[in-house]
């Protein structure tokens, strides 16, 4: 079977990381070759860049620097990990990809959308996901989830992006909706206010159908 590139997107706190792990567990059970990765990050170099982007101490990081750091992390990730895994016929499950840059840096920060797309098209060598699961949730619900996670699960503070004001996260959410409206064939849009099991049922059923489609 040829490799498949599957991405998970959504506002911070939407539950996408939980759902991508559930799909990874399902692939493991089915003995289907896969890798589970994330952005920013995914390689040693990309993880170093991630630590710069998300560190709350770096308040002086400019919007342009942020855009370029995300793209730099992605360039390394695509070249070193994603494309080789796809070439080996594996399913690549990736927590965030270019849609996130468009939503967070384009719509969220107000950077020119076409410039963000062009930078990331170059960084990714034109690579696009075969299927994307976009989990939608309000900024208020997302912030409540993140705070509970930080306090109880990981005992960490919110990262530099998560700490931004509700107005920013509302723009990000609207950005994801705009991306979905332009890519309805690729994106499976899911209400994140449902239970984890209900969300995964939607993803699992869609994934099975998508697998049949791409296998033909």
Place of tokens 């499950």: 93
Q: Can you say which residues are annotated as belonging to the binding site for ATP?
A: 10-17
Over the stretch 8-33, which tens digit does the pLDDT of each residue have? 999 988 999 999 999 999 999 999 99
Burial class of residue 181 (count of CB atoms within 10 Å of its CB; 0-12, 13-18, 19+): exposed
Over the stretch 103-152, which tens digit does the pLDDT of each residue have? 999 999 999 999 999 999 999 999 999 999 999 998 888 777 766 665 55
How far apart are the C-alpha atoms of 20 and 39, rounded to whole Å?
A: 13
DSSP letter at 39 equals S
Residue 134's SS3 state is strand
How large is the angle between the packed helices 44-54 and 63-77, nearest 10 degrees? 160
Q: Can you say which residues are annotated as belonging to the binding site?
A: 10-17
Please indicate whether residue 166 or residue 43 has the higher confidence score (pLDDT). Answer: 43
Q: What is the Cα gyration radius of the chain?
A: 16
This prediction has a pTM of 0.93
CATH of range 4-215; options 3.40.50.300, 3.10.129.10, 3.20.20.70, 3.40.50.261: 3.40.50.300
Beta strands 4-9 and 34-38, pairing class: unpaired
How far apart are the C-alpha atoms of 39 and 95, rounded to whole Å?
A: 6
Q: Which residues contact 12 (CB under 8 A, 6 or more apart)?
A: 142, 146, 161, 162, 169
């Amino acid at each position: 079977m040829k490799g498949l590139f599957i991405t998970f997107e959504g506002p911070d706190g939407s539950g996408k990381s939980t759902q991508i792990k559930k799909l990874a567990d399902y692939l493991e059970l089915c003995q289907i070759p896969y890798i589970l990765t994330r952005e920013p990050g995914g390689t040693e170099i990309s993880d170093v860049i991630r630590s710069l982007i998300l560190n709350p101490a770096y308040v002086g990081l400019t919007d342009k620097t942020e855009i370029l750091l995300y793209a730099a992390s992605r360039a390394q990730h695509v070249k070193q990990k994603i494309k080789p895994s796809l070439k080996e016929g594996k399913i690549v499950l990736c927590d965030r990809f270019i849609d996130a840059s468009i939503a967070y840096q384009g719509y969220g920060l107000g950077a020119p959308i076409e410039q963000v797309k062009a930078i990331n098209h170059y960084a990714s060598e034109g690579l696009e996901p075969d299927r994307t699961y976009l989990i939608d949730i309000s900024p208020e619900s997302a912030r409540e989830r993140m705070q509970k996670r930080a306090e109880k699960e990981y005992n960490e503070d919110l990262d530099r992006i998560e700490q931004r004001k509700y107005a920013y996260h509302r723009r990000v959410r609207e950005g994801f909706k705009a991306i979905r409206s332009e890519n309805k064939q690729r994106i499976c849009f899911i209400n994140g206010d449902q239970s984890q099991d209900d969300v995964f049922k939607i993803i699992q059923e869609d994934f099975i159908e998508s697998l049949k489609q791409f296998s033909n």
